[in-house]
Amino acid sequence: MLRSFLIYLSKAGWAQRMVTGWKLAWMTASRFVAGESILDAIRAIQELNDKGILATFDQLGEHTTTAEEATQSAEGILAILDEIDKTGVKSNVSIKLTQIGMGLDDSLCCENLIRILNRAKEYKNFVRIDMEDSPYTATTIELLNCALDSGFDGQSVGLVVQSYLYRTEEDTRKLLERGVRFRLVKGAYQEPPEQAYPKKADVDANFDLLSKILIDAAFAARSPAISEDGRIPPLPAIATHDEKRIDFARQYAEKIGLPKKALEFQMLYGIRRDLQEQLAAEGYPVRVYVPFGTHWYPYFMRRLAERPANIWFFVSNFFRK
Ligand SMILES: Cc1cc2nc3c(=O)[nH]c(=O)nc-3n(C[C@H](O)[C@H](O)[C@H](O)COP(=O)(O)OP(=O)(O)OC[C@H]3O[C@@H](n4cnc5c(N)ncnc54)[C@H](O)[C@@H]3O)c2cc1C
């Protein structure tokens, strides 16, 4: 109920105008967001790298409404790739296709995606396509297929899949045949019961099933390991803060003999730093999703929706002032 309301608010323009006007909202959001500029994010990533943790950059923003805005966002992502190369930080890039034109003009989005992938390829870097809500799932996969048909492979571009969607197992199996590398998540949006498991237990069970499918596929593909520079991830990236899901993946990989360097764990900036460091110390690649920018409102609201305790953190900050 509360989760649905917060996800509704994440898309409501009036709520965005109200919340982003509060200094305290930014103070709370900055627990999850590295800062407003690329350089803020670079600093945060350098700190993570110093602890043996890798990163994936995320330029905040989604659902751009004009072609100019979409192209400008794509330019921003090209600048991130340049900055990673210039500074040598151990990071790749995550992108949201609605930020670069999906839903507005899919052919423009495809052009922007290809430009980004060409730049990433120049630097031998990797681009992960985030998965947004279910009205965009099919188009996201079509655009990924379009990139694969244009000559990019699993070393250049990868996809996020969500365990709450019924369709994900079939999508994953098909894309595995094309050599795609995956980030597995539970899913952060509000979805109808026709599309997604309404019960958390089913989402978790499907998460474990998908972990197993990805780990088996990695083993069958002779366990491709993370690249030396930490940019190109292994085939499965298990992205969760849920220790039971992490333990399942870890134990299953160990049981079938998948080496640690062929299994990545991912978490969000500001969440479970203890667990991030623990897994890295155990020898697994750990990558943190580092968002930055001024369009932090929907991202922040989804983080509040995931954990009601975060709201109390927000509210207590509000009353402290
Ligand atoms: C690297 C990464 C990339 C992602 N990319 C996408 C994407 O492209 N598309 C998409 O739909 N979703 C994405 N997500 C979000 C994901 O779908 C979940 O909404 C999010 O990870 C919370 O679920 P959980 O797996 O941690 O499990 P949960 O069962 O929700 O949480 C398990 C435990 O983790 C901790 N926790 C979880 N969330 C929070 C929080 N916000 N604040 C504090 N503690 C928390 C709590 O201790 C909680 O008990 C991504 C997540 C990660 C880690």
Per residue in 29-70, pLDDT tens? 888 999 999 999 999 999 999 999 999 999 999 999 999 999
Contact assessment for residue 116 and residue 125, using Cβ atoms and an 8 Å cutoff:
no
Q: Whose CA is nearest to atom 45 of ligand 1?
A: 307
pLDDT tens by residue, 180-236: 999 999 999 999 999 999 999 999 999 999 999 999 999 999 999 999 999 999 999
Instruction: Tell me, in angstroms, the distance from the centre of ligand 1 to residue 306's CA.
Output: 7
Is 273 an active-site residue?
no
Q: What are phi and psi of 148, to 5 degrees?
A: -65, -40
Catalytic residue among 58, 119, 130, 302: 130
CA nearest ligand 1 atom 36, residue: 241
- Quick: pLDDT tens for 94-120: 999 999 999 999 999 999 999 999 999
Q: How far is the CA of 241 from the centre of ligand 1 (A)?
A: 6
Task: For residues 69 and 76, give the distance between their C-alpha atoms in angstroms, rounded to a whole number.
Answer: 10
- Select from 185, 208, 168 the least CA-distant residue to 266: 185
Q: How far apart are CA 211 and CA 249, in angstroms?
A: 6
Which residues are within 8 A (CB) of 170 and not within 5 positions of it... i.e. 6 or more apart?
none
- The Cα–Cα gap between 26 and 29 comes to 5
> Is 186 near ligand 1, meaning CB less than 6 Å away?
yes
Q: Is 36 in the pocket of ligand 1 (CB under 6 A)?
A: no
The response to whether residue 306 sits with its C-beta less than 6 Å from ligand 1 reads: yes
Three-class secondary structure assignment of 46-74: HHHHHCCCEEEEEECCCCCCCHHHHHHHH
According to the model, what pLDDT value does residue 44 have? 98
From 229, 289, 291, 238, select the one nearest 260 (Cα to Cα).
238
CA distances from 78 to 69, 116, 135, 215 (A): 14, 6, 27, 32
CB–CB of 127/189 below 8 Å? no
pTM for the whole structure: 0.95
| Eight-class DSSP state of 198 | S
Mark whether 40 is an active-site residue.
Answer: no
Does residue 109 contact residue 70 with C-beta atoms inside 8 Å? yes
How confident is residue 310, by pLDDT bands cut at 50, 70 and 90?
confident
Ligand 1 touching residue 303 (CB < 6 A): yes
Nearest residue to 258 (alpha-carbon basis) of 232, 231, 225, 209: 225
**6 falls in which pLDDT band (50, 70, 90)?**
confident
Whether the CB of 31 sits within 6 Å of ligand 1:
no
| Six-digit token string for 158 | 């990868």
Chain CA centroid to CA 102, Å: 17
- Out of 75-89, 100-114, 286-300, 306-320, least confident range: 306-320
